[in-house]
Chains A and B, each alone.
Chain A
Amino acid sequence: MKIYVEGVGLLGPGLNGWHFSLSCLTANEAYVSAPTELKASELLPAAERRRTGVPVKLSLAVGQEAFANAQRDPATTATVFSSSGGDGDNLHHICETLAVAELEVSPTRFHNSVHNAAAGYWSIATHSQEPSTSLCCYDASFSSGLLESTTQIVVDGIPVALIAYDHPYPEPLHAVRHIGGNFGVALVLTPNVTEHTFAALDVSLVANIDCPTPMTDPALETLRASIPAARALPLLAALARKSQEVVFLEYVAGNYLRVAVQPC
């Protein structure tokens, strides 16, 4: 299934934007880890902005960057959101509240607890009434989002923005589900070549592969392995290198997502 890439957004530890990250993804400069630089999005009205957690900040930042790079209007573009854990801070606070006798859940925390909260805020921020779906596939959430985006693009013939994010749980959940940092990635994908296309992807589901494509830099490999959304890194590195490559991304049930990258 062939699709095209118009724009990328990236925000993670030591990865402060797509263009900023190119030199370490292409191994021209060493990757240096640093806390993810989160900012509240100016796309949201102030009242809404105050209510948002890390997932919304990540999603809006990478989505906005990817659309700016693609020079495409988010209001007319369908979206696929994918996350392994949704808003872990919010979940922790709700479970902590429910464990004591008070049982007073905050209404804002409750409506932010839905897995599609980031998608909801995105549609409000961008005024997009286009279809949007919110997925979870545990460690394979990024590749699952890419597979879903690909089928929407080839079957419906529409552009789709994929936004994947994950962030760490606080304790005690952190001890049973380790996520190694705040990470978001967005891809603006299209069914045809446009004036902003910079790569073609050929996406398929395959079995009989030994392991997903690793990162050569040990610190980036640690990042890839410790955050579900960062499983996108081998694909991002191939896009950054602008070379013809095939990467295999982790999927489920013994399958992998094979992505052949062709610069254009």
Chain B
Amino acid sequence: MQPLVISRTAIVNSLGAGLAATANALRDRRSGLAPCAFENVALNTYVGQVAGLENERIRPDLAEYDCRNNRLAQVGLQQDGFAESIEAAIQKYGADRIGVFMGTSTSGILQTELAYRRRDSESGALPADFHYAQTQNTFSLADFVQRYFGLKGPSVVVSSACSSTAKVFGNAARMIAAGVCDAAIVGGVDTLCLTTLYGFNSLGLVSQSPCRPYDVNRDGISLGEGAGFALLEKQSTQSAGEMLLLGIGESSDAYHMSTPHPEGMGAKLAIQSALNAAGLRPEDIDYVNLHGTSTKSNDASEDKAVYGVFGAKTPCSSTKGWTGHLLGAAGITEAIISMLAIENSLIPGSLNTLDLDPELKSNYQINNLAIPVNRVVSNSFGFGGSNCSLVLGRAI
């Protein structure tokens, strides 16, 4: 594929608001996970919660979009000079030539969960202040972002569980290649809600400890919330040092709704297809940011795929010990972490992992590794067997 320039990124998660907060936490090996004190949740688990969303006020003209997910989106759009870059892009391309491709798994479902607690005791009706289209509907996030900047181009939400915000890079790349738009905001948001906390718990996939990816004693995920955005533009004249989207690969497991293929077949297809799209070989990749959820089955399956493609040489790690599993926001968050690894010449190791599972054969990094990083593969795999791998790197 024709590489695209990633000219600006912005990020918020439990490590803090802005790229520097995440970069510093990675360098200092400080986790954002803490014992769960979210809403009335009575689960013994750790979560990566974003502080201060309770006090965030949605811009008045978009007040009907007020929900935790769009609040976190708004905080994200205000970080790292992102909004200023979009204003400049509007001047450069026009508001109708900038697409919005957002990913989210649960959108504003928390708003609906809370509204169901306030149903009219006689009629059963939802409260009058519940705005379905602006909060619950899966499109709400892209609608919010598009209106936030007054954009008039193509706009859609991809909701394919935990691969959502990796896959949006593909939607944007195709729209730009087809000439439907010249630039795109990609990324997305997922926020804590009762559905995912109790849902993953019902599947026996939530750990009582901070998650320990690739540990022999790993026993499940820690949930988190976060937002991440990137501005993608066509590459006009290649200038060295620019951050690029080099390739993307997508596949389906065709195996099970909530368990990955035991041999990692779908994951391997996605990684290989991303390398093919980038025109690169496995040995061209300096680091693999794993999906690494810390469940028994995900890490075992992904290890087979990664070992199958890269062997035991290429350093890899999961960064979920820092942020928790951000579900639909995992793809963009880990793509941005991959770019931070390149910019800071730092491969983040794995937090909380003490005893590496001897069954897993990839070159898994527990400690941070300060070495030059030019090209990274970032993996995101979701329920329904939805797989996506990105290849990110600097223009050389």
A residues whose Cβ falls under 8 Å from a Cβ of B: 1, 84-86, 91, 94-96, 98-99, 103-107, 109-117, 119-121, 123-124, 126-138, 141, 144, 147-148, 150-152, 154-156, 171-173, 175-177, 205, 207, 251-255
Contact = CB atoms under 8 A, between A and B. Distances in A.
A175 B171 CA distance: 33
Contacts of B137: 84-85, 136, 138, 177
Given A133-B160, A138-B139, A177 B257 contact: no
Interface residues of B, number: 66
A120 B386 contact: yes
Contacts of B143: 138, 252
A251 B256 CA distance: 34
Contacts of B379: none
B48 interface: no
Contacts of B386: 116, 119-120, 132, 134
Contacts of A99: 113, 116-117, 119
Contacts of A86: 138, 159
A95 B171 contact: no
A1 B178 CA distance: 8
Interface in B122-164: 124-126, 130, 132-133, 137-139, 142-143, 146, 151-161
Contacts of B383: 111, 114, 116-117, 120
Nearest to B141: A136
Given A119-B386, A255-B96, 11 more contacts: A94-B195, A95-B113, A104-B198, A107-B203, A111-B383, A114-B382, A127-B254, A136-B156, A138-B137, A148-B156, A173-B112
B252 A156 contact: no
Nearest to B39: A98
Nearest to B200: A110
B231 to A, nearest CB: 18
Top 10 closest pairs, chain A to chain B, by CB: A120-B384, A110-B199, A115-B159, A131-B250, A136-B138, A99-B116, A123-B252, A151-B174, A123-B254, A111-B258
B156 A106 contact: no
Contact of B253 (A129, A151, A177, A253): A129
A123 B199 contact: no
Contacts of A177: 132-133, 137
Contact of B159 (A121, A134, A150): A134
Contacts of B384: 114, 116-117, 119-121, 123, 134
B156 A144 contact: yes
B159 A136 contact: yes
B257 A120 contact: yes
Contacts of B170: 131, 133
A95 B199 CA distance: 11
A251 to B, nearest CB: 8
Nearest to A135: B156
Contacts of B138: 85-86, 115, 136
B195 A98 contact: yes
Contacts of A133: 158, 160, 167, 170-171, 250
Interface of B: 42, 96, 105, 109, 112-113, 116-117, 119, 124-126, 130, 132-133, 137-139, 142-143, 146, 151-161, 167, 170-171, 173-175, 177-178, 180, 194-195, 198-203, 250-258, 265-266, 269, 382-386
A134 B158 contact: yes
Given A99-B119, A115-B105, A151-B174, A134 B253 contact: no
A131 B199 contact: no
Contacts of A112: 257
Given A148-B171, A172-B125, A205 B178 contact: no
Contacts of B113: 95, 98-99
A176 B127 CA distance: 10
A138 B133 contact: yes
A236 B256 CA distance: 33
B152 to A, nearest CB: 5
Nearest to B383: A114
A128 B254 contact: yes
A85 B139 CA distance: 9
Nearest to A141: B139
Contacts of A109: 199
B126 A172 contact: yes
A174 to B, nearest CB: 10
Contacts of A175: 125-126
Given A105-B199, A114-B383, A132 B252 contact: yes
Nearest to A94: B195
19 contacts: A86-B159, A98-B116, A99-B116, A99-B119, A103-B42, A105-B195, A107-B199, A110-B198, A116-B384, A119-B384, A119-B386, A120-B257, A135-B156, A137-B139, A137-B156, A148-B174, A152-B174, A177-B137, A253-B155
Contacts of A91: 109, 112
Contacts of B253: 123, 129
A263 to B, nearest CB: 24
A110 B126 contact: no
A201 to B, nearest CB: 14
A103 to B, nearest CB: 6
Given A95-B112, A173-B126, A121 B257 contact: yes
Given A116-B161, A123-B253, A138-B137, A253 B178 contact: no
Contacts of A176: 126, 130, 132
Contact of A252 (B155, B175, B194): B155
